[in-house]
Amino acid sequence: MIRINLIRGKRKKRREINIGGAFLIVPLAVIAGVLYWHFGVVIPKLDATKANVDQATAQVARIQKDIEELEKFKNRKAELQRKVDIINNLQRERVGPVRYFEALSSAIPEKCWIDKLEIRGSSLAVSGVALNNNTVANFMTALAGTGRFRDIILGSADQASLQNTKLVRFNLTFIAVD
């Protein structure tokens, strides 16, 4: 048999869901999530990026200082190299005239006297007095024989008188061979 209860007893009331409260809670939860993400993730990343930028700026300043110091060293090195080159050039040129004088003194024959010697680079000019033309010719031959001079040219050979003695005044030009 079927029983039907006609007495109204305590019945459980059905609860209705309050949708109005959900409209308030969901946006608050979304805002709270965004704020958490912003302050928990974005701000620390920005701070870390700012710290990296500060480190990079400090490193750039340090490298810039090193570059300036390197440029100073390069300029100083170039200046010192220029001075060393000048000293080396002077050393080389100091030895040159000694060689010329040595070769010239060994080539001068008896009764021949040098009045003037000019050195312009590797070109030399000699002026002097000799007893006769043969002495001047012997001098030119001796200069060529030293191997230190080439292209020996007699510029002039004029007869001159000095204390009632007939002499020959001469001018020679030649090129020194290193």
- Whole-number percent of the chain with pLDDT over 70: 88
Averaged pLDDT of the chain: 86
DSSP assignment of 74-122 equals: HHHHHHHHHHHHHHHHHHHHHHHHHHHHHHHHHHPPTTEEEEEEEEETT
Q: Into which CATH architecture does domain 109-176 fall?
A: 2-Layer Sandwich (3.30)
Tell me the C-alpha distance between 10 and 23, whole Å: 33
Beta bridge partners of 172: 126, 154
pLDDT tens-digit series, residues 114-134:
999 888 878 889 999 999 999
CA distance 114 to 116: 6
Domain boundaries along the sequence of the chain: 21-107, 109-176
pLDDT tens track for 80-108: 999 999 998 888 777 667 777 888 888 89
Do residues 93 and 85 make contact, with C-beta atoms less than 8 angstroms apart? no
Q: CA dihedral defined by 126, 128, 134, 139, rounded to 10 degrees?
A: -40
Q: Helix H segments across the chain?
A: 19-37, 43-107, 133-146
Which of these ranges, 55-59, 92-96, 112-116, 142-146, has the smallest mean pLDDT?
Answer: 92-96
Q: Can you tell me the distance from the alpha carbon of 19 to that of 24, in angstroms, rounded to the nearest whole number?
A: 9
